[in-house]
Amino acid sequence: MPDLFGRLAPAEPATEIMAEGAMLLRGAALPYEKALLIALDDITASSPFRHMVTPGGFTMSVAMTNCGAAGWVTDRTGYRYDRTDPQTGRPWPVMPDCFLDLAITAAARAGYPDFRPDACLINRYEPGARLSLHQDRNERDFANPIVSVSLGLPATFQFGGLKRTDPVQKYALRHGDVAVWGGPSRLFHHGVPELKDGIHDTVGRMRINLTFRGAL
């Protein structure tokens, strides 16, 4: 949009460095949009979204499901990866090729050419849902990065440091953005504050987050 002097604002950079080893890839998932949403419908038909319960008895506001060789779950016994969906008693749905292709391509672009995810945690945020600052540390090998894909309503991504009390940077995430972090920032705290209400043209009144990990 032109400013008061008729000058066009500079184009937003395609990539943003969040920290050493951490990069935000603007719009990187857009070429995969249609395939991702079709595949997501197939996954949730087999393993529906559910609100999991933390070991402390708190019901999470974010609804979750998984695909891949293992899925992240939480209940009163703890946090873990499980090869079986505890709700259906069956293996989690196979990770679709479009999911895998996007994760591998984004990771390579961010400097992790050897990443081959075996798990994808799928989060569904509806207005009011949030995810407090946390570390992804249930994976066996922290040498693998995290690849996080945003679809649907915009959200704010909070990215901190190794300690929960470290300063937090905030990034606006929009439909198609992909965040990748690993190496020295692999265990940085991160979260999403309360999602604001709205309607996305394609996804509707929600935000979908695909989080790819090397879990096993």
Q: What integer pLDDT is reported at residue 5 of this predicted model?
A: 41
For the stretch 77-105, pLDDT in tens is 999 999 999 999 999 999 999 999 999 99
How confident is the model at residue 12, as a pLDDT?
54
In three-state secondary structure terms, 145 is coil
Q: Smallest Cα–Cα separation from 130: which of 74, 79, 189, 195?
A: 195
> Are the CB atoms for 192 and 156 separated by under 8 Å?
yes
Residue 41 DSSP SS3: helix
Domain 15-213 maps to which CATH number in 3.40.50.1980, 2.60.120.590, 1.10.10.10, 2.70.98.10? 2.60.120.590
pLDDT of residue 2: 42
What per-residue confidence (pLDDT) applies to 151?
Answer: 98
Say how many C-beta atoms besides its own lie within 10 A of residue 36's C-beta.
20
Amino acid present at 120: C
> pLDDT band at residue 13, thresholds of 50, 70 and 90?
low
Q: Which DSSP string corresponds to 116-134?
A: --SEEEEEEE-TT--EEEE
Please give the pLDDT value at position 30.
97
In the predicted structure, residue 11 carries a pLDDT above the cut 80:
no
Largest CA distance in the chain: 63
pLDDT at 4 over 90: no
The pLDDT of 18-34, averaged and rounded, is 97
Mean pLDDT of the 53-77 span: 95
> Would you say residue 142 has pLDDT above 80?
yes
Quick: pLDDT tens for 147-182.
999 999 999 999 999 999 999 999 999 999 999 999
> Percentage of the chain with pLDDT > 90?
93
Q: Which of 96, 97, 57 is nearest to 76 (CA)?
A: 57
Residue-averaged pLDDT of the chain: 94
Q: How far is CA 60 from CA 54, 123, 201, in A?
A: 7, 11, 26
Task: Measure CA 25 to chain center.
Answer: 13
Q: Strand order of the sheet with strand 169-173? A: 131-134, 190-192, 155-159, 169-173
pLDDT at residue 182 in the model: 98
Residue-range domain boundaries for the chain: 15-213
